[in-house]
A and B are shown apart, each in its own frame.
Chain A
Amino acid sequence: MQERNNWDGNGNYGQEEHPPTELLMLSVDGELPPDEAARIKSHLDACWVCRARTAKIEATIADFIEYSETALAPRLGPPPNAWRNFEARLDRHAGGLGEPPLHARLGARLREMFAARLAFVISVAIIAVAGLWLSRSPVVSASELLERSMQAEATRINQAPEPVMYRKLQLRRKSAGAEESVTWESWHGAKNDLFRQRVADERGSRFIRAGAEPSPALIAELERVFRANRLDERRPLSATSYADWRKTARRESETVTEIVLRDQSRGLKLTTVVAGPHGVDAIIEISLVVRRADWHPVAQYLKAQGENEIREYELSEVAYEVMPLAALTVFAEPAPTPLPTVTSAGEITRIPAPAPTVKPAPPEAELRNAEVAALYALHRMRADLGEQIEILRDPAGQVIVRGLVETVARKEQLIEALSAIALVTTQIQTVEEAQRAASQKFSASKAPTVSAAATDPGQAGAGDRNTRHQAFRAALEHYFASSGGASPRATGQRITELTNRTLAFSEAALARAWALRRLAENPAFNRTEQLSPEAKTSLVAMLEDHRTGLREEIRSLRGELESCLTFIAGGKTDGREASSDKAAGASSDRAGATLAVFQSVSRLDRALHGIFSPGGHSPDPAVVARQALADFAEIETSLRMLESQTRRIAADK
């Protein structure tokens, strides 16, 4: 497989120039970014040489699979006992894990201390009481914890006219063995943009004004981490901010645990671990601690990726109060600094206010236009269809385009496309660069070893394998047999082909739906009246492009599947009417229409995976087929709504 390599790395190849075989290999495996994949496909359409090389890769893969299935698989399983003892082992294992760890620890401690039978009996009694007590307060889910905390915050805010949240935090940072700390106070208008902050460190206590007074390095650094991860730096212990971040974070795992707070009251700690790779300032792990009694957040812990180290931050609440704006002078102008240290929110009204905020950052409207221009440039490079690129703001007001790409060539392409846009800077890394930076974390994240357990003699058999998937498979076979009367082998081939096409269309549709969702989540989307005509035109062009692209993918998918799904569903369904109503209800506002599109496409994708993939969890083929048909109808309805909405945006003056 030797070839001439005249590829210049930028996709500039003609009749006599060919992409390297590695690139063809990535193309065959579907691992290229969309634009690169499109260029390769276009080259293959024109180039017999590369088609032959691709065919050779495909043929080698086919040979290996044939060898694997024909020669290797019969030798590789199932194991001698055919998994018969697993269920018994799982039962025993589950039984062994039944005791809450707290009980076990307490019991062991007491036994150690007293080493007497009586003490042991007492410890058992205590454990039983503790068990009863704990069992009355089950651990909640992450969503429920955040939801309750948000509700509690909203209730507190609504009790004051023009509420202002005052918060005093102790911020600590650990990094490379060193520890720093600073006291950080903030006043934040809950229903407006009012914001003041004050810090106390070794230089004394002082107000911080944007552009006039430099923040202590520690706070500036934390603000940068918050912004880089789309957390609201003005609301560091906010469940709302956490919940917003969580929606888009690539979560690797999440836990909610009960803990005892410093004042001996009970708390709940939500910890989210983010999947790697992690660029600089990316959050690796974040926790929010709330008081169990009133769901109020009292602490936050963060682990963020540094240049060559992992930084840990701890924010502990010292004081918190919601008070009416009229009771405060802190927002009055002008204000002298520095100011005496205060230790509680009750003294706020005596604080002379800081000087008016100086605004060195460019006007907000210009920044929004720059953001849309960056979005549009990425859109033209098809970087909004699944690549890990995001747009953020830095403390100086610059628009940052940050992300991870697969190749150096792709990185250079994106940087070039964004280079001409004012107020935009790029922080794009290749995956390899990011992994190099995060290598420490990667080496620490290997899964732990489990000690070997005893093997159990043969027990009752495990359940039928992939029963649910087999039900769909049987339904599909029935459909093809009834429509074409083909041989079982030909039917199998047709199911395979249908599966390939379906999952490919569904994946492409989902990428479009995600692009629409990300557009709708951008603040510019709901404030188009503040955009320049050019930015608005770009926004409309992106919406239109994704809407029509999604419509085409959905139509192709529907063309492939409608008759088959109708057959499996047992005839025509009434999903259209019911779904249309649902879509209409979800689409009362601008972002709602886009979200409705995303939700219905996402639901359809899951339903199709339920049908065509053994990983599906759907119980009944007919039910899932009916749901999928209803989803098609709903997507069409929500796309029509999105179309009218896009027209309204275009027509708005």
Chain B
Amino acid sequence: MPFGRTRLEYAGDAENDWRVDEGLLGFRQGAAQLKERVTLHFEQWRDAVYRYLVAVFGPAAQADEITQEVFLKLYETLQAGQEIVNVRAWVFRVAHNLAVDQLRGRQFIAPLDEDAWEETRRSLRDSAPNPEQRLLQIEKFERLNAAIGRLTMIERQCLHLRASGLRYREVAEIVGLSVTGVAETLYRVIQKLANETHG
């Protein structure tokens, strides 16, 4: 479902001035409103940001911590009078940079390790209605899990950011590639996954 789509090219129009001015009124006009605003953004994007961090960088506890830090930083930025037109892209970018800084050097193996995968397999077996379909689905997921485990860090980042609904230009700014670079990376990722699942 394409919920939450954005159009970067329209971000600066006069019609949307309210978004800018609202923030510039700033802290002195109501910390309570600002907190409410940040809380709304938090409720809206926290799960997506957290999933991205865990799926790409790994440890859940640190992902939780980084996710919360991102929104405290958002409060701080808005409180200082700055306004952020594209909040979704901003929170992903800050989360990405924090994760890169804090989890640098960590070796990523696969989105689901062997224990987690066994538990997933068991839960899939219990839930699917048709045994044959169940088997096929588990096999497909196993191949995908292995293929994703073989992706490079940048490939995984592009894949999960795109799957979170971000456009190529937004992904490019977050991971530090050109838009063309993102397009090429995603094309490569899809080829790798397709080779695994569709031969």
Question: What is A's interface to B at a CB cutoff of 8 Å?
Answer: 1, 21-22, 25-26, 29, 31, 56-57, 59-61, 63-65, 67-68, 70-81, 83, 85-87, 89-91, 93-94, 97-98, 135, 138-144, 246-257, 275-276, 386, 388, 406, 430-432, 435-436, 442-443, 446-450, 452-453, 455, 462-466, 496, 499-500, 503, 507, 510, 514, 598-599, 602-603, 612-615, 617
Q: Is B154 an interface residue (CB 8 A)?
A: no
The verdict on A251 contacting B64 (CB below 8 Å), with A72-B55, A90-B71 known, is no
Contacts of B80-109 to chain A: CB distance below 8 A: 80-85, 88, 90, 93-94, 97-98, 101-102
The verdict on A247 contacting B178 (CB below 8 Å), with A73-B51, A141-B24 known, is no
Complex interface: chain A residues within 8 A of B31 (CB): 94, 98
Listed A/B pairs (30) with beta-carbon separation below 8 Å = A57-B190, A60-B190, A60-B193, A63-B140, A65-B163, A68-B55, A70-B141, A71-B124, A79-B60, A79-B64, A83-B46, A87-B39, A93-B75, A97-B27, A140-B24, A143-B20, A251-B83, A275-B12, A432-B180, A435-B179, A447-B93, A450-B94, A450-B98, A452-B65, A452-B69, A499-B1, A499-B2, A507-B7, A613-B4, A614-B44
Bitwise interface map of B from 28 to 45 toward A, beta carbon under 8 Å scored 1, else 0: 110100110011101110
Secondary structure of the B side of the interface?
A: helix
Least Cβ distance of A184 to chain B in Å? 29
Complex interface: chain A residues within 8 A of B35 (CB): 90-91, 94
Other than the known A78-B47, A83-B42, A443-B176, what 19 A-B pairs have Cβ atoms closer than 8 Å?
Answer: A22-B183, A26-B183, A60-B193, A65-B163, A76-B55, A86-B39, A90-B75, A98-B27, A139-B81, A140-B24, A142-B20, A251-B11, A254-B82, A430-B180, A431-B179, A436-B178, A450-B69, A466-B44, A612-B3
Complex interface: chain B residues within 8 A of A448 (CB): 97
Complex Cα gap A138–B168 (Å): 40
B76 and A68 contact, CB distance less than 8 A: no
Residue from B4, B25, B178 in contact with A615 in the complex, judged by beta carbons closer than 8 Å: B4
Complex interface: chain B residues within 8 A of A503 (CB): 2, 5
A463 and B43 contact, CB distance less than 8 A: yes
Most buried by B among A98, A141, A510: A141
| Beta-carbon nearest neighbor of A81 in chain B | B64
Complex Cα gap A75–B148 (Å): 16
A72 and B111 contact, CB distance less than 8 A: yes
| Beta-carbon nearest neighbor of A446 in chain B | B97
The verdict on A256 contacting B81 (CB below 8 Å), with A79-B50, A248-B12, A615-B4 known, is yes
Least Cβ distance of B165 to chain A in Å? 10
Complex Cα gap A430–B178 (Å): 11
Complex Cα gap A252–B8 (Å): 10
A250 and B42 contact, CB distance less than 8 A: no
B10 and A510 contact, CB distance less than 8 A: yes
Complex interface: chain A residues within 8 A of B120 (CB): 71, 74-75
Residue from B11, B39, B98, B195 in contact with A1 in the complex, judged by beta carbons closer than 8 Å: B195
Complex interface: chain B residues within 8 A of A90 (CB): 35, 38-39, 42, 71-72, 75
A56 and B60 contact, CB distance less than 8 A: no
Complex interface: chain A residues within 8 A of B81 (CB): 139, 255-257
Complex Cα gap A79–B61 (Å): 7
A462 and B2 contact, CB distance less than 8 A: no
Q: Is B79 an interface residue (CB 8 A)?
A: yes
Complex Cα gap A86–B49 (Å): 15
Complex Cα gap A81–B194 (Å): 37
Complex Cα gap A79–B68 (Å): 11
Complex Cα gap A254–B2 (Å): 29
Complex interface: chain A residues within 8 A of B180 (CB): 406, 430-432
Complex Cα gap A254–B82 (Å): 5
Q: Is B126 an interface residue (CB 8 A)?
A: no
Complex interface: chain B residues within 8 A of A257 (CB): 81
B28 and A139 contact, CB distance less than 8 A: yes
Residue from B28, B61, B76 in contact with A138 in the complex, judged by beta carbons closer than 8 Å: B28
Residue from A86, A386, A614 in contact with B4 in the complex, judged by beta carbons closer than 8 Å: A614
The verdict on A63 contacting B123 (CB below 8 Å), with A142-B21, A253-B84 known, is no
Least Cβ distance of A604 to chain B in Å? 11
Nearest first, the 10 A-B pairs at minimum CB distance are: A79-B64, A141-B21, A247-B14, A60-B194, A141-B24, A250-B12, A251-B12, A447-B94, A76-B51, A602-B15
Least Cβ distance of A417 to chain B in Å? 21
Complex Cα gap A205–B55 (Å): 66
B187 and A25 contact, CB distance less than 8 A: yes
Least Cβ distance of A599 to chain B in Å? 6
Complex Cα gap A255–B27 (Å): 13
Q: Is B167 an interface residue (CB 8 A)?
A: yes
| Beta-carbon nearest neighbor of B85 in chain A | A251
A1 and B3 contact, CB distance less than 8 A: no
Complex interface: chain B residues within 8 A of A79 (CB): 50, 60-61, 63-64, 67
Least Cβ distance of B107 to chain A in Å? 19
The verdict on A452 contacting B15 (CB below 8 Å), with A74-B123, A90-B72, A499-B1 known, is no
A253 and B83 contact, CB distance less than 8 A: yes
Complex interface: chain B residues within 8 A of A93 (CB): 72, 75-76
A25 and B144 contact, CB distance less than 8 A: no
Complex Cα gap A320–B74 (Å): 41
Complex Cα gap A79–B76 (Å): 24
Complex Cα gap A257–B54 (Å): 38
The verdict on A432 contacting B55 (CB below 8 Å), with A141-B24, A142-B20 known, is no
The verdict on A67 contacting B28 (CB below 8 Å), with A31-B183, A142-B21, A250-B12 known, is no
A254 and B24 contact, CB distance less than 8 A: yes
Complex Cα gap A482–B177 (Å): 49
